[in-house]
């Protein structure tokens, strides 16, 4: 399994393409309930998100208790996929040309 990132986000510090991270939890969230501070943390201000909508918050562990989140648009298929793989490892792919 892989998870792709379109940018070398600050939250990914210490990770490179090919590293493995563990999916700890998947939460269904509504974007309108998140603070601007959280949205800025998650996107580094480079990835625009809609003001409202259903999303998935994925909580990953980089190792030794170092966790980070990422948001993914909700679809029934994505919801089922990620929830079925909680507790499993994902290979990281980072588009290095973007930062």
SS3 47: coil
- Report which DSSP code applies to 87: T
Residue 99 has pLDDT above 60, yes or no: no
Bridge partner list, 29: 55
Whether the CB-CB separation of 57 and 82 falls below 8 Å is answered with no
Tokens of 14: 């210490």
* 70-83 pLDDT tens trace: 999 999 999 999 99
Bridge partner list, 91: 2, 20
Bridge partner list, 59: 25, 69
- 0.85 exceeded by pTM: yes
* 20-57 pLDDT tens trace: 999 999 999 999 999 999 999 999 988 889 999 999 99
pLDDT value of residue 96: 67
Residue 64 has pLDDT above 90, yes or no: no
Q: How confident is the model at residue 69 (pLDDT cuts 50, 70, 90)?
A: very high
């Amino acid at each position: 399994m892989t998870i792709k990132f379109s940018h070398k986000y600050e939250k990914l510090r210490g990770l490179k393409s090919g590293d493995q991270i563990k999916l700890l939890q998947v939460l269904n969230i509504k974007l309108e309930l998140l603070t601007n501070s959280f949205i800025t943390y998650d996107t580094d201000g480079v990835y625009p998100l809609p003001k409202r909508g259903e999303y998935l918050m994925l909580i990953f562990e980089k190792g030794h208790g170092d966790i980070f989140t990422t948001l993914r648009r909700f679809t029934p298929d994505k919801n089922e996929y990620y929830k079925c793989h909680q507790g499993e490892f994902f290979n990281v792919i980072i588009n290095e040309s973007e930062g």
